[in-house]
Amino acid sequence: MKLRRHLLSLLAVAAGLGAFTAPAVAADYKAEYRMSLVLGPPTPWGQAGKMWADMVKERTQGRINIKLYPGVSLIQGDQTREFSALRQGVIDMAVGSTINWSPQVKELNLFSLPFLMPDYAAIDALTQGGVGQKIFQTLDKSGVVPLAWGENGFRELTNSKRPIKSPADLKGMKIRVVGSPIYSDMFSAMGANPTQMSWADAQPALSSGAVDGQENPLFLFTVLKMHTVGQKFVTTWGYVADPLIFVVNKDIWSSWTPADQAIVRQAAVDAGKAEIAIARKGLVEADKPVLKDIAAMGVTVTSLSAEEREAFVKATRPVYDKWKNTVGPALVKDAEAAVAARKK
């Protein structure tokens, strides 16, 4: 005990000396900050985190060091708890999907409203305009500091059974869905049999055939070689797209000097911009090389005609109407107007 007290007083003296000799900024800084991500660096999402961390380290001359925790490992893979953990300080910062934070921040379900965003210009019209600003105000009120947008991407449907061209083709199919309940509602409305599970649980479920299909951006299909776990059919229907958001815990944010805050914010903006380009690569070009790559894996890629797509729009419309109230009718109205006015 005596020794411990002695050590503590030595530490107090050292800290006191530090206040005079070291720049005041260093006092509250942690040796390392914890950044949460669902997907790691081989994916655009993981690269978003890595680019952000690297830029911050370089631009702060190492004052702010960030370690990546992909697989939401700080919360044992339970991605729907990420937002609460951020607020509580279990996580210092994150690049997170709007889907995973939707259970806590209802407005984020906006991006999951089926067929709200028909193309990339529509995503940009929301995130880069007034709607995006409103969402950031909401996040700020919800207890985190939002800094920039990134992109997970349009979520396309894959399965092991058959080509899907109509809701009837989905009938009874066991589809893994993410943790926000709007997804269960959508897949039920289309006649499928949705099973909600984390991404950590989804991978073994796909491998074992416990589920028939899933929906995610196509880069994940290629990175994980999903055809090797029986996913032989892809339908590009672009029903929803999830943006990513760069955020920092409020206490951590206020522990940084204004100059460092500006650096962290600008780095998030730069990393977000670069990542969005990576996420869209191969999908925005006229010949869509990503689809060719996937077809070359022996996968049947089904693109929907306008009429075929419309059948899915119709089937999910009651879900859109129901969730409009949860998101907030005014925000949905603004979003619809922004999408309608987008530059194509």
Q: Which residues bind ligand X2X (CB under 6 A)?
A: 38-39, 79, 97, 99-100, 152, 178, 199, 216, 242
Token pair 């990420």 in the structure block, residue: 82
Give me the residue whose beta carbon is nearest to ligand X2X: 199
Q: How many Å apart are CA 105 and CA 83, to the nearest integer?
A: 9
99 vs 331 by CB, closer to ligand X2X? 99
95 vs 294 by CB, closer to ligand X2X? 95
Closest distance between ligand X2X and the C-beta of residue 6, in Å?
A: 49
218: nearest Cα among 301, 275, 316, 116: 301
Q: How many Å apart are CA 227 and CA 224, to the nearest integer?
A: 9
39 vs 206 by CB, closer to ligand X2X? 39
Q: Sign (positive/negative) of CA torsion 219, 91, 34, 143? A: positive
96 vs 132 by CB, closer to ligand X2X? 96
Contact yes or no for 331/107 (Cβ under 8 A): yes
Contact yes or no for 244/97 (Cβ under 8 A): yes
Closest distance between ligand X2X and the C-beta of residue 97, in Å?
A: 4
Q: At 340, list the tokens.
A: 């309608």
Closest distance between ligand X2X and the C-beta of residue 217, in Å?
A: 7
86 vs 264 by CB, closer to ligand X2X? 86
Q: How many Å apart are CA 6 and CA 275, to the nearest integer?
A: 51
Closest distance between ligand X2X and the C-beta of residue 71, in Å?
A: 10
Angle between helices 181-189 and 306-327 (to 10 degrees): 140
The side-by-side arrangement of strands in the sheet containing 193-196 is 193-196, 174-177, 213-216, 156-159, 233-236, 300-303
Closest distance between ligand X2X and the C-beta of residue 96, in Å?
A: 8
Residue 281: Cβ within 10 Å count:
13
Closest distance between ligand X2X and the C-beta of residue 310, in Å?
A: 26
Q: How many Å apart are CA 112 and CA 311, to the nearest integer?
A: 18
142 vs 152 by CB, closer to ligand X2X? 152
Token pair 């007290």 in the structure block, residue: 5
Contact yes or no for 267/52 (Cβ under 8 A): yes
Closest distance between ligand X2X and the C-beta of residue 206, in Å?
A: 11
101 vs 120 by CB, closer to ligand X2X? 101
